[in-house]
Amino acid sequence: MRLRIHNKMCRSRALVTSWVVLLVQLMCMEAVPISMDKTKVKEPEKVETPPASVDTGLHYDRYLREVIDFLEKDQHFREKLHNTDMEDIKQGKLAKELDFVSHHVRTKLDELKRQEVNRLRTLIKAKQDLEGGNDIAVDHQALLKQFEYLNHMNPHTFEVEDLDRLIKSATKDLENYDKERHEEFKRYEMMKEHDRREHLKTLGEEERKREEEHYEEMRKKHADHPKVNHPGSQNQLKEVWEEADGLDPEDFDPKTFFNIHDTNGDGFFDEQELEALFTKELEKIYDPSNEEDDMVEMEEERLRMREHVMNEVDSNKDRLVSLDEFLIATKKKEFLEPDSWETLEQNQAYTDEEMREFEEHLAQQEQDLNQKAVDLQKQRDELERQQEQLNEQKKELQQAVEHMERLKSQKVEPPPEVHIEGNAIPQMHAVDDQLHFNQEAQGQRPAAHVPPESPQEHQEEQKQDLAQHGVPQTHQDLPPGHQQAPQDQNNVL
């Protein structure tokens, strides 16, 4: 599981103040190469149109951008935006200016919010359908609470609270973005090392030895590169000035350098513009055509360089470098006499303890997956066994139905009853008839036919048969309580 750490992004150029740029920072992972023939300052009045495919990586990116775009169209809000510092913006002072925005802009913001609420409700419903809860009533108000960047209690109009929530949520999410990227890169590096170790286990002794030697050779080859200048130092910027801009290093001027590389002319270095300055340094270490160079590591190195410069130069922590901040930094000792820069190969992304815990976690995951596979196989076997039982029961049921149909087609009417001294006793002819039928069914020859007897003889024989089977023949022979039975109950129905 190799995680791609750095997504290629481009950020919007339409915003010209600190708060707006902060909200739409795309945390670009791959900088735009610097033009080799740029020799003069770019005119500040030219502002690029933001590309339609720009994405901050936030799940509410589109809503955020559309709100910013419409607020920028209001002249009053735009003026207040220019004159408000970052701390005031974070404290919600700028959001209060929403009350003075034009009716047209407010109406459009209301529409944007309604669309976003409907989008979230659609997502909630889709998630519920996937989880199989179609018959369960959905409490949208309760579920909307998880989305902190808007006021879900008022889904119809865009108010001051909505703007305040949006600013705070975007600021917090973007500030956490770099931290998450570092953690993701650490997992990537540990997984890469884990895969290498697992591969060695599959090799024989000689193959493993050759693989280890090749690995060490690639590491040494990667570390053998020209000296990397300290990011943001005079030496590093002069190298860009000379090799990328084609200017004489003796004529290096910080203000001119700033204007050349402020590519959107807004008076600030944003994160993308800063990362572009490190391209020449990164090319000393990484080459996509070399086996030993990992491009994911190159993007992590770019991120480290940009963070270092921001920490050193961005004094008000608005994630932007103004011209004044840049000029002040060029007068510091760190700019003129910097320390050497330690690259990634000199700073392992993880500790031995973290690697051990990571492998234990992977082992536990593998064990859990294996146990799930065993449980699923047992469930499959049990289902197959139950299916076999159902098939057997179905077969037996079909046989029983067929047997009942045969009996129904061969059913004989019951014989009339006879009366013996007040007790109704079935005639024995039914037994004889059934016996005769069974004998025919079994292929036996029935007994020879006996000529019918007279009624008196037949009654006498029945009495003898009943006496042999213990059936009472008179009232005296009946059990107590049955001797005085009424005459109308003597007949057995």
What is the DSSP annotation of 338-388? PPPPP-GGGS-SS-HHHHHHHHHHHHHHHHHHHHHHHHHHHHHHHHHHHHH
**Average pLDDT of the chain, as a whole number:** 77
Per-residue pLDDT reduced to its tens digit, 147-186? 888 888 888 899 988 888 888 888 888 778 788 889 999 9
22: pLDDT strictly greater than 90: no
pLDDT of residue 57: 65
Dihedral, CA atoms, 315, 317, 318, 320, nearest 10 degrees? 50
pLDDT of residue 459: 60
pLDDT band, residue 455 (cuts 50/70/90)? low
Q: Does residue 279 or residue 39 have the better pLDDT?
A: 279
Instruction: Kindly state the average pLDDT of the residues 197-213.
Output: 94
Quote the CA–CA distance of 215 and 217 in Å, as a whole number.
5
Enumerate the β-bridge partners of residue 423. 420
Quote the CA–CA distance of 103 and 229 in Å, as a whole number.
53
Instruction: Kindly state the average pLDDT of the residues 405-425.
Output: 63
pLDDT of residue 225: 92
230: pLDDT strictly greater than 60: yes
Q: Does residue 243 or residue 474 have the better pLDDT?
A: 243
Q: State in Å, rounded, how far the first CA of the chain is from the last one.
A: 85
287: pLDDT strictly greater than 50: yes
- Which of the residue ranges 78-92, 131-145, 456-470 has the most confident prediction, judged by mean pLDDT? 78-92
196: pLDDT strictly greater than 50: yes
235: pLDDT strictly greater than 60: yes
pLDDT of residue 466: 53
Helices 205-223 and 177-201 cross at an angle (nearest 10°) of 150
Per-residue pLDDT reduced to its tens digit, 57-74? 678 888 988 998 889 888
Q: Does residue 177 or residue 118 have the better pLDDT?
A: 118
Per-residue pLDDT reduced to its tens digit, 335-369? 988 888 999 988 889 999 999 999 999 999 999 99
pLDDT band, residue 112 (cuts 50/70/90)? very high
Q: Which of 208-217, 291-300, 365-374, 454-463 has the lowest mean pLDDT?
A: 454-463
Residue 449 Rama label (left phi>0; alpha psi -120 to 50; beta): beta
The residues, ordered by sequence, that sit 6+ positions from 283 with a Cβ below 8 Å of its Cβ are: none
Helix (H) or strand (E) holding 417: strand 417-420
Report how far apart, in Å, the C-alpha atoms of 156 and of each of 97, 104, 106, 108, 149 are. Answer: 20, 16, 12, 11, 15
480: pLDDT strictly greater than 70: no
268 φ, ψ (degrees, to nearest 5) = -140, 150
Helix (H) or strand (E) holding 423: strand 423-426
pLDDT of residue 484: 47
85: pLDDT strictly greater than 90: no
Please give the domain boundaries of the chain with CATH numbers for all domains.
Answer: 60-169 (no CATH), 203-350 (1.10.238.10)
**pTM for this entry:** 0.57
